[in-house]
């Protein structure tokens, strides 16, 4: 059995899509949700699906490896970052080599790096006059949005797109493709 831990910082729509996708899977399940915020709605989603959850303390996350004990307790062997805003520390990347994936709301290497998340990304894409945007699913290393690319899915950027309308297109791509790409990684 592959046990997934989802790290999220916000509402958790991608977490919900992943949980739903694997709900009846015989070999893969979401076994733990970890959030960087006590008030993140993703924790309610975890509760609704009877999935255990933890809230991280930023200093402990960055400076100690106590999180590894929690991951071991839940037999976690794959980590998915789904709207998780903190940089993953080296000890965690080293403990899970090529076992941590992230979803970025743009076509990397463009529009990635520190501070490039959510509406900031969509605003930059529109301001640059891009005709195409999309999502990038990549392995995580010690740098923001820098790991090897696993998959990219695209959508057109219309001349009348707003930050909100582009965000909606990107969310549709995320919900459709992220769970499928995770499954492909875990079953290949």
Q: Which domain range does residue 126 map to?
A: 2-187
For residue 19, give the H/E element and its range: helix 13-22
pTM attached to this predicted model: 0.96
pLDDT at 63 (0 to 100):
85
Q: pLDDT tens for residues 47-77? A: 999 999 999 999 989 988 889 999 999 999 9
Coil, strand or helix at 135 = strand
Q: pLDDT tens for residues 159-170? A: 999 999 999 999
Residue % of the chain over a pLDDT of 90: 94
Confidence check: pLDDT of 178 > 90? yes
pLDDT at 64 (0 to 100):
84
Active-site option among 25, 49, 50, 104: 104
Confidence check: pLDDT of 86 > 90? yes
Average pLDDT in the chain: 96
pLDDT at 66 (0 to 100):
87
C-alpha span between 139 and 93 (Å, rounded): 10
Which CATH number do you get for residue 146? 3.40.50.170
Cβ proximity of 38 and 58 under 8 Å: no
- What the block records as the tokens of 132 is 């195409």
> Could you give the dihedral angle defined by the CA atoms of residues 12, 6, 36 and 137, in that order, rounded to the nearest 10 degrees?
-80
How many domains is the chain partitioned into structurally? 1
pLDDT at 65 (0 to 100):
81
Q: pLDDT tens for residues 1-46? A: 999 999 999 999 999 999 999 999 999 999 999 999 999 999 999 9
175 counts as catalytic: no
Cβ proximity of 48 and 16 under 8 Å: no
């Amino acid at each position: 059995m592959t046990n997934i831990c989802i790290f999220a910082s916000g509402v958790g729509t991608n977490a919900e899509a992943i949980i739903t996708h694997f709900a009846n899977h015989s070999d893969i399940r979401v076994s733990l949700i970890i959030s960087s915020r006590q008030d993140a709605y993703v924790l309610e989603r975890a509760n609704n699906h009877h999935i255990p959850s933890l809230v991280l303390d930023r200093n402990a996350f960055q400076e100690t490896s106590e999180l590894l004990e929690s991951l071991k307790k839940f037999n976690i062997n794959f980590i998915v970052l789904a709207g998780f805003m903190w940089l993953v520390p080296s000890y965690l990347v080293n403990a899970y080599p090529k076992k941590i994936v992230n979803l970025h709301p743009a076509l990397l290497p463009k529009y990635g790096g520190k501070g490039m998340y959510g509406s900031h990304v969509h605003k930059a894409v529109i301001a640059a006059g891009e005709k195409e945007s999309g999502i990038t699913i990549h392995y995580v290393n010690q740098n923001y949005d820098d790991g090897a690319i696993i998959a990219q899915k695209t959508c057109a950027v219309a001349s009348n797109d707003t930050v909100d309308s582009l965000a909606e297109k990107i969310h549709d791509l995320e919900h459709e493709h992220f769970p499928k790409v995770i499954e492909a990684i875990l079953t290949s």
